[in-house]
Structure 1
Amino acid sequence: MNNIIGSAVARGIKQEHRALCKEPVHKSIRRMTIQREARSVKTEAAPAVANDLRTLEDLKLDSTFISELPGDPETKNQRRQVHDAFYSFVAPTPTNTEPVTVAYSGDVARMIGLDPSECERPEFAAVFSGNAPLPGGPRPYAQCYGGHQFGMWAGQLGDGRAISLGEAVGPDGGKYELQLKGAGATPYSRMADGRAVLRSSLREFVASEAMHALGIPTTRALSLVATGAKVLRDMFYNGNAKYEPGAVVCRVSPSFVRFGTFQLPAIRGGDQIALVTPLADYVIRHHYSHLEGRADKYEAFLQEVVSRTAHMVALWQSVGFVHGVCNTDNFSILGETIDYGPYGFLERFDPNFTPNTTDMDGRRYTYRAQPGIGHWNCAQLANALIAANLVPLEKAQPIVDSYADTMMEAYTGRMARKMGLIKYDKDVAVGLVTLMYEDKADFTNTFRALASVSEGDAPGSIPAPLEQALEELSEERQQAWGAWLDQLRAAIKAEGRPEAERRADQDSVNPCYVPRNQLMQTAIARAEDGDYDELHALMKVLEMPYEEQSGAERFRVTPPKQIRMGVELLSCSS
């Protein structure tokens, strides 16, 4: 098999984004080789008309995934290596307890054609906890895929606790796969129990809907259901296991195919490589149908996935989102954010921040490393297509290399708007992030306050909203910020845009509210005691993250510096 032997990635991300972190930031984005690994080890959607919405009983599902792709003939639910298949049939395991719907998204319900009032029924909790089947649906299944975890090939992984119920057809004609996470063991569970705790399920539910409201491509969440069962977990893998409340989140996406779905048969090699072609054809047919009929459809497919991934990562960077576990099995073939585990949002600005305790030593998935990891993951997807002879080496290389320019263009365009500029100004941007790094400024609050800057401000002055966001500054630091603000004012004045227009544009890309970990921790603690009001209040605020909301000041507060473990820092325990 041919190998790609070079990639001009280091120069693609460019010095502008390196400067974001004050120090050399994207050391992981080097001139890199695409090589096949050795085999081893709510922006509220328009509501559907009432006649388009169905009852739970009328929500008919099908599954193109299981009807068009090969499956595992073995039906026993036992852990095993699965070959020649993309899925195994497996039903959710009932808990034999009384489930309760903790929260649901009316927006997602309408999207899949379900009347939101149906989510209030006890039958809804039974179905979406895995305790009862959805009448008339296809056989539930778990997907088979592999992945690189922290840079090392991990072999077969698969849906260890996610079970797909099938695809619903929404009022828009789109198909949406419904997947229960935490509904029991599957053939891919390895040593795990297939369950999930309320703590992690609540975080995934919140993030899914909050990221959508922020305008970032993401899988969605229909519901969060407390099962009433207890699940044993060791939160920090330190020997202090305890029982926690169990829960199931229903994730929704047009597809849950990942980069790792392509990788597993390609890296296994032999006759397994032949599986890559029908998978690519399936994904193109259903999710990139505009490419059907093109002689170069596989190359065009790779190009679109690379572009979508680059734009997604650029948007992550623009709001300070840190995924925490950017393994190739956690990258969606649709360019959606998927698998919300130990994620976090930058608060006190630190480009080396990772919310994942597992990554504290290697820091592979820090904020500053994410753009490079996005590129690296695209290279691994390209390897799979090269192995299957779908995309030749000489075509794959420039496609993957294009990631750098695409990501950088999207990122700098967004950053310009965040600073109130039409055109990106490298010197202004570098000056800002240098100050933010030195003063550990709150990422979200600082950017939001920049809209208060006016051309008519006194030289060297700091507008009150920004001064408040920066908390206590020494006189020397005030002077440093004042000098930079004069530089920003000059750049704004040179562009000559009306102030009202500029401020409105800034407010549309600088959120007031993001799902800060300490806010979710408060909601989790109360939810574990059966009080869901805090979660509902948080979700209401996060539905409109770009609008200042009366009485919502507490959702913007930077956490105390002493709050770390379990709030700023999280494990993969879930």
Structure 2
Amino acid sequence: MPSTQELATSSQHITMCSLEELKFDNSFVRELPGDAEKSNTIRQVRGSLYSRVNPTPAAGEPSLVTFSEEVCSQLLGLDPVEASRPEFALVFGGAAPLPGSEPYAQCYGGHQFGNWAGQLGDGRAITLGEILNQQGNRWELQLKGAGQTPYSRRADGRAVMRSSVREFVASEAMHYLGVPTTRALSLVGTGDKVLRDLFYDGNAKFEPGAVVCRVAPSFVRFGTFQLPASRGGDDMKLVKMTADYVIKHHYGHLENESQKYVAFLKEVTVRTAKLVSWWQAVGFVHGVLNTDNMSILGLTVDYGPYGFMDKFDLMYTPNMTDFQGRRYAYRNQPEIGLWNCVMLANALYAADLLGQEEAQEAVDAYGQTLQTEYNGRMAAKLGLLSYDRDLVVELFKLMYEDEADFTNTFRALGSVTSTSSDGTSHKDQGVTTSGLTPQLRTAVNKILTADREQAWERWLTQYRNKLKAEGRPDQERQAAQDAVNPKFVPRQHLLQYAVEGAEAGDPTEINQLMKVLRRPYDEQPGADPKYSALPPPEMADKPGVCVLSCSS
């Protein structure tokens, strides 16, 4: 974490505010109906989109583990020096109020693993309010793990350091990868212990507690529309009210459209398709793509049992809850994204905001957008000017058969050249391949049999011939590939190192990891090789690395 002096130097050219000067403009609670019941008791909430509830201070002493200087200064306009104040950890650890905040928990429902679950809501997330920064941009501040809400069901509303480290790192890492995402301002240790059963096998244990402050323009979800639509009656009007609110504040360019709800659904669908194409391109698996975990803004939200693929496997999922059906595996994410958009369309249709044909037309934009975006991203990852499906499919087959690392394989493709070392093309020399480059051999990470070696060489022959046919200079192409194929992603074992350090009270590992992840596409020759390597044997089978659960 930067020193106070470094923070002061980096922010001195911009006028920033203190904690007490943050400008709240809490439009959600001002413009939408809330729960009349004021007690913080677990219950069914009807006719309302939120319940007012304050964070519950933990028994321990909050302490700041780490924070994002960029979120602090560039998004919120908050002077990063404020992070050195004791009040910072108190406020964002849920132990002290922030002037101007109006805390609440949102009410929503959702389909979980394809089944309607009814009311869910923010069971351990409490929104403090919405900040307007110096540029007039709106940012919602939400504490995850700050205590029980009316939607906590059988849980305690707390979060552990293990899941909180993972959420903080992923929120920021995805941003630097270029993937639409919610952000994270801070990670605060609560100083108390939280009882959790990691694998739901009866072996519960106490873990250090923590709170993450999440930041996004809005945390409205698909499920925010679904719950009132499912209830009907007087609740049905909440669907239109929510749509009008979201359009007004986040899709303002649609307000004067003659069919604004159709246009709204179509744009949400398009954003979702683009988001999923990003996930597929970087090898990210969300793990729990329930409709209540789908952002109405097309952002990645709710980082639970997620994972970035190491060894390539189309059916990869890190979530043990999904091992049997693998509904949310890597291969299925595009289809699930569409399914979730259909569920949103059904809610808008139930509220008579659009017709069936209009809803279908809007949702049809998903497939068209996904195909275009995915094809473009995969072509860029291979350094091609046009998408070659056969080349990609055959590469995936090779990667699966030989357990090639997803991230490192695509990064290594930049080392493949269509010309020999003396500048003449292999084709001119009568040679179509020179075998695997050292970088590709490292990515494959196993000794290949003669047959497998030949299989890779056949593919590389086709690949080099394609590169040669397109005629793009190798140096230009390789630079473009490095700009879309990250060298560094938050691998599971790296996250586990960060978790173990934070649990022991040492933030060194998480801060070093974040330093690398802020420049995922740069070579960073001085970085520790572990940040781009597969997990060592002692980490490969460790809980939290190869297997995760929704326990957090």
Q: Is the 8 A contact 1:125 1:225 kept in 2?
A: yes
Residue in 2 that maps onto 1:464: 438
Residue in 1 that maps onto 2:523: 548
Q: Is the 8 A contact 1:48 1:171 kept in 2?
A: no
CA shift at 1:469, angstroms? 1.5
- My pick for the range that moved more, 408-417 or 545-554, is 545-554
Q: TM-score, normalised by structure 1?
A: 0.90
Q: Deviations over 1:165-187 (max 9, x none)?
A: 11111233210000000000000
Aligned residue identity for 2:302: D
Aligned residue identity for 2:548: L
Q: Is the 8 A contact 2:51 2:150 kept in 1?
A: yes
Residue in 1 that maps onto 2:90: 126
Aligned residue identity for 2:494: L
Residue in 1 that maps onto 2:80: 116
Q: Is the 8 A contact 1:342 1:355 kept in 2?
A: yes
CA shift at 1:525, angstroms? 1.1
Output the CA distance in 1 between the equivalents of 2:164 and 2:202: 22
Q: Deviations over 1:537-559 (max 9, x none)?
A: 00100000001111331101112
SS for the counterpart of 1:368 is: helix
Output the CA distance in 1 between the equivalents of 2:230 and 2:130: 29
Alignment of 1:517-556 (within 5 A): 517-549=492-524, 550-556=526-532
C-alpha spacing 1:499/1:171, structure 2 compared with 1 (3 Å): farther
Q: Deviations over 1:514-535 (max 9, x none)?
A: 0001111111112111111011
Output the CA distance in 1 between the equivalents of 2:503 and 2:373: 40
Output the CA distance in 2 between the equivalents of 1:259 and 1:48: 37
Output the CA distance in 2 between the equivalents of 1:404 and 1:460: 39
- Identity over the aligned pairs, expressed in percent? 61
Residue in 2 that maps onto 1:567: 545
CA shift at 1:48, angstroms? 7.4
Alignment of 1:344-363 (within 5 A): 344-363=307-326
Alignment of 1:185-334 (within 5 A): 185-334=148-297
Output the CA distance in 2 between the equivalents of 1:338 and 1:454: 39
Q: Is the 8 A contact 2:315 2:330 kept in 1?
A: yes
CA shift at 1:265, angstroms? 0.3
Output the CA distance in 2 between the equivalents of 1:305 and 1:147: 17
CA RMSD across the alignment: 1.2
Output the CA distance in 1 between the equivalents of 2:281 and 2:263: 27
CA shift at 1:460, angstroms? 4.2
Output the CA distance in 1 between the equivalents of 2:204 and 2:158: 15
Residue in 1 that maps onto 2:7: none
Residue in 2 that maps onto 1:7: none
Q: Is the 8 A contact 1:460 1:483 kept in 2?
A: no
CA shift at 1:299, angstroms? 0.4
SS for the counterpart of 1:208 is: helix
- My pick for the range that moved more, 290-299 or 372-381, is 290-299
Residue in 2 that maps onto 1:399: 362
Output the CA distance in 1 between the equivalents of 2:191 and 2:101: 27
Residue in 1 that maps onto 2:483: 508
Q: Deviations over 1:324-362 (max 9, x none)?
A: 000000000000000000000111001111100100111
SS for the counterpart of 2:330 is: coil
CA shift at 1:228, angstroms? 0.2
User: Would you say 1:156 and 2:119 are equivalent positions?
Assistant: yes
Aligned residue identity for 1:488: Y
SS for the counterpart of 2:19 is: coil
Residue in 1 that maps onto 2:426: none
Residue in 1 that maps onto 2:397: 434
CA shift at 1:62, angstroms? 2.5
Q: Is the 8 A contact 1:113 1:168 kept in 2?
A: no
CA shift at 1:467, angstroms? 1.6
- My pick for the range that moved more, 374-383 or 495-504, is 495-504
Q: Deviations over 1:57-95 (max 9, x none)?
A: 111322100000000011000001001110000000011
Output the CA distance in 2 between the equivalents of 1:56 and 1:233: 33
Residue in 2 that maps onto 1:37: none
Aligned residue identity for 1:493: K
Q: TM-score, normalised by structure 2?
A: 0.94
Aligned residue identity for 1:559: P
Aligned residue identity for 1:113: G
Aligned residue among 50, 56, 59 for 2:19: 56
Output the CA distance in 2 between the equivalents of 1:461 and 1:484: 10
- My pick for the range that moved more, 370-379 or 398-407, is 398-407
Residue in 2 that maps onto 1:479: 454
Output the CA distance in 2 between the equivalents of 1:571 and 1:380: 25
Q: Is the 8 A contact 2:17 2:79 kept in 1?
A: yes
SS for the counterpart of 1:91 is: coil
Output the CA distance in 1 between the equivalents of 2:544 and 2:190: 23
Aligned residue identity for 1:412: N
User: Would you say 1:416 and 2:379 are equivalent positions?
Assistant: yes
SS for the counterpart of 2:331 is: coil
Output the CA distance in 1 between the equivalents of 2:442 and 2:492: 21
SS for the counterpart of 2:185 is: strand
Residue in 2 that maps onto 1:22: none
Alignment of 1:71-150 (within 5 A): 71-110=34-73, 111-135=75-99, 137-150=100-113
Unaligned runs of at least 5 residues, structure 1 = 1-46
Output the CA distance in 2 between the equivalents of 1:551 and 1:497: 31
Unaligned runs of at least 5 residues, structure 2 = 1-9, 421-430
CA shift at 1:97, angstroms? 2.1
SS for the counterpart of 1:57 is: helix
SS for the counterpart of 2:64 is: strand
Q: Is the 8 A contact 1:460 1:479 kept in 2?
A: no
CA shift at 1:51, angstroms? 4.2
Aligned residue identity for 2:547: L
SS for the counterpart of 2:21 is: coil
Output the CA distance in 2 between the equivalents of 1:546 and 1:540: 13
Output the CA distance in 2 between the equivalents of 1:568 and 1:254: 33
Output the CA distance in 2 between the equivalents of 1:344 and 1:187: 30
Output the CA distance in 2 between the equivalents of 1:132 and 1:50: 30
Output the CA distance in 1 between the equivalents of 2:170 and 2:57: 26
Output the CA distance in 2 between the equivalents of 1:177 and 1:350: 36
CA shift at 1:413, angstroms? 0.5
Output the CA distance in 2 between the equivalents of 1:398 and 1:294: 16
Residue in 2 that maps onto 1:557: 533
Name which structure has the greater RCO, CA cutoff 8 Å, separation 6+: 1
Task: Report how many residues are paired.
Answer: 527
Output the CA distance in 1 between the equivalents of 2:217 and 2:12: 21
CA shift at 1:565, angstroms? 3.4
